Structure 1
Amino acid sequence: MSIESFISQYGLAAIFLGAAFEGETSVVTGGLLAHQHLLPLVGSAVAAVTGSFFADQLFFFAGRHYRDTKRVRRIAEKPAFAKALETLDRHPTIFILSFRFLYGLRTISPIAIGTSHIPARTFVMLNAISALVWGVVFTAIGYVFGDGLIELVDKVMPKQKLAGVAILVVVAALAIAGVRYWRRRHASRTGASQPRANAAAASTTDGSGRTPV
């Protein structure tokens, strides 16, 4: 089976799963492949929209019905979870419409929303609107800027254009994964240092909360 045939057969499923669990890289890649006429443009956008929508509905369901499980409680201890709930309390509609565009909050936010007072019907409606905009926008980015990316690949690998596109996508995905890994480590270190700071502050006060003299 050729690479072209493989993409044609499994590409839309890959975009669906990528939109659900990876993010923008998969969706932009779908637009790029549509630009190369390896996938249908509308089909790529639909796969991106539905993948994102169903994944966030699944995460919302986990927060709503499994909030007492060990895994969800562990997620709820992360600083991003508290940040998501705080933003949700201030601007519920805007936050639900925009969380998938916010770096570092996309996966954890629907779980946090599921533990809140937001009705499921409201989340379904706003989640559908947000997924539609998100999927169409990032598919369009890959499609519209396909000329520039293909021109870049053509200069580097003129005889292996498709392989060059694949390498470009892998490099981009690894770079994004590296940034996310660094941000998670930074957040975990920040969260770990806070209890130590609180303990140090407490050790300088007496039982009444006053600093001893």
Structure 2
Amino acid sequence: MDYNQLAVNLLDAKALVASVGAIGILAIIFAETGLLVGFFFPGDSLLILAGVAASSAASSVLGEGAQLSIALLLIGAPVCAVAGAQLGHYFGAKVGPRMFDKPNSKIFRREYVVKAEEYFEKFGPAKAVVLARFIPIVRTFLNPVAGTLEMPARTFFVWNVVGGVLWTESMLLIGYFTGAQLAPVIDKYLIPAMALIILVSVSPIIVEVLRERKKKKAEAVESGEPVVGGRHRKG
């Protein structure tokens, strides 16, 4: 393995799949969801390309010897995604309040907690945890924030499993079943395709936000007072 090339291509999903193999992909999925420093990894495109690498189009897309096991990916990816998120939740529950309250911290900022509280209030803890899986960066930071907000470990685990399985399996199977169709155009259209996937993923949140704003505006007009929501602490 060329480690210099790998270091340069950390944001390049195709280079990562070709360089690190199945075990490396699973490690990256764990890091992106469990370690805050892993927020920059291209999780969605990485999983789709991993699915392509497990399909009959693997050699034409990634070269000879790049074939991956779809069974290993379908079992290992959700396990690593769930385990990573559980670690993030545990970390947030144990040290989150101290870390996020540091005014000079460059990563653990109090504003993340405030935004997450609003996110939890708008969608509820279950929907927040599941939807966050499909949003880059959010899927990394929401887990420790959920722990900081004292979301019970059992409740978090249930919806973490639901979100982790839906995210990893859907991305892998998209790549696996469309690998042959993607092969001729994957270099040219991968980035637009990822942008479309992200847009589709966040569209439910956009709809919910617009609906909530409309509802609050209507309530404010009726009551003559602004609507102020409380904080979510336990789900």
TM band (smaller chain): 0.5 to 0.7
Match of 1:61 among 86, 90, 110: 90
Closer, same or farther: CA 141–71 of 1 in aligned 2, 3 Å? same
Unpaired stretches in structure 2, ≥5 consecutive residues: 2-16, 33-40, 59-66, 196-235
- Residue 148 of structure 1 is matched in structure 2 by 181
Write out aligned runs for 1:91-170 (5 A). Answer: 91-152=124-185, 168=187
Whether contact under 8 Å (1:84, 1:105) holds in the other structure is no
Stretches of structure 1 that go unaligned for 5 or more consecutive residues are 2-6, 154-167, 177-213
How has the CA–CA distance of structure 1 residues 97 and 35 changed in structure 2, closer, same or farther, with 3 Å as cutoff? same
Return closer, same or farther for 1:71/1:89 CA change in 2, 3 Å cut-off.
closer
Query: Could you tell me how far 1:131 is from its partner in structure 2?
Result: 0.5
Distance 1:89 1:103 in 2: 20
- Please, what TM-score do these two structures have when normalized by structure 1? 0.62
- Alignment-mate amino acid for residue 134 of structure 1: W
Q: 1:25 aligns with which of 30, 45, 48?
A: 45
- TM-score, normalized by length of structure 2? 0.57
Query: CA 1:132–1:72 in 2, change beyond 3 Å: closer, same or farther?
Result: farther
Q: Tell me if the contact between 2:78 and 2:168 (Cα under 8 Å) persists in the aligned partners.
A: yes
Secondary structure of 1:19's match? helix
Contact 2:116 2:145 in 1 (8 A): yes
**1:10–1:104 distance in 2 versus 1, CA, 3 Å:** closer
Once the two structures are TM-superposed, the CA of residue 115 in structure 1 deviates from its matched residue by: 0.8
Percent of aligned pairs with the same amino acid: 22
Q: Residues 171-210 of structure 1: matches in 2 within 5 Å?
A: none
User: In 1, Cα distance between the equivalents of 2:83 and 2:90?
Assistant: 10
**Structure 1 equivalent of residue 22 of structure 2:** 12
**Amino acid corresponding to residue 86 of structure 1 in structure 2:** E
Q: C-alpha displacement at 1:54, in angstroms?
A: 1.3
Number of equivalenced pairs: 154
- Listed one character per residue, the Cα deviations across residues 145-195 of structure 1 (whole Å, up to 9, x for unaligned) are 211221236xxxxxxxxxxxxxx49x85xx98xxxxxxxxxxxxxxxxxxx
- Cα distance, 1:97 vs. partner? 1.6
| Equivalent residues of 2:130, 2:159 under 8 A apart | yes
Q: Which residue of 2 aligns with 1:83?
A: 115
Q: What is the CA RMSD across the aligned residues, in angstroms?
A: 2.9
CA change 1:71–1:118 in 2 (3 A) is closer
The correspondence of residues 29-48 of structure 1 with structure 2, limited to 5 A, is 29-36=49-56, 38-48=67-77
| Structure label with greater radius of gyration | 1
